[in-house]
A = this chain, B = another copy of it.
Amino acid sequence: MNVQADIFGRLQAGGVKPSMQRIAVMEYLMTHCIHPTVDKIYSDLAPAMPTLSKTTVYNTLKLLSDRGIIRTISIDGKNLRYDADISRHAHFRCKRCGNVYDLQVEGLDKVKVNNAAHLLFTECQLYYNGFCEKCKNIRDSIN
């Protein structure tokens, strides 16, 4: 259950060398399950790592995502979000506050795709939009 050991294991399993920057991004994602954007990750890490470049955050996230170590979430058209939890779950986005929450789903594996014989699937994303508890009463057609 050691987070550090888990990080090393996941990076290694994906064939990614564990540099300081990569470990920092990975640790951030594993301890901040808010599906952060690049900007959020960078601005939260930057104070403790003054030499960190935003390009490195981009590069690292792309690398981790390509290797299947983390998950990319494109729930809004605006910017990408990232998630260290690659287990099967869905995401919910509040159209008012913009926050993204995890949803536990059942039966997703029973969904049948009919016209896909000639396609090769690699990932699946299930997104819900709506209003969260705080916002559902206030909502005045923002977004």
Contact = CB atoms under 8 A, between A and B. Distances in A.
Interface of A: 66, 72, 74-77, 79-80, 90, 92, 95, 101-108, 110-116, 118-133, 136, 141
Contacts of A90: 113
A86 to B, nearest CB: 14
A68 B123 CA distance: 27
A91 B133 CA distance: 29
Contacts of A133: 118-119
A66 to B, nearest CB: 7
5 contacts: A92-B119, A104-B114, A118-B132, A123-B130, A125-B126
Contacts of A101: 119
Contact of A77 (B74, B107, B126, B130): B74
Contacts of A120: 130-132, 136
Contact of A107 (B74, B76, B110, B123): B110
A113 B105 contact: yes
A134 to B, nearest CB: 9
Contacts of A108: 111
Nearest to A123: B129
Contacts of A125: 125-129
Contacts of A116: 92, 103, 128
